[in-house]
Amino acid sequence: MGLPSKKRTPRSKHDRASHFALKKTTTTKCSTCNAVIKPHVACAKCGNYRGKSVVNVEKRTARLKRSQKATGKTSK
Structural domain including 56 reads 25-71
> Is residue 76 pLDDT above 80, yes or no?
no
Structural domain tally of the chain?
Answer: 1
Indicate the average pLDDT of the chain. 88
Domain annotation covers residue 67 = yes
Other Cβ atoms less than 10 A from the Cβ of 47: the count is 19
Amino acid at 24: K
Domain annotation covers residue 65 = yes
**Predicted confidence (pLDDT) per residue in 25-55, tens digit:** 999 999 899 999 999 999 999 999 998 889 8
Show the CA angle centred on residue 44, arms to residues 43 and 48, nearest 5°.
35
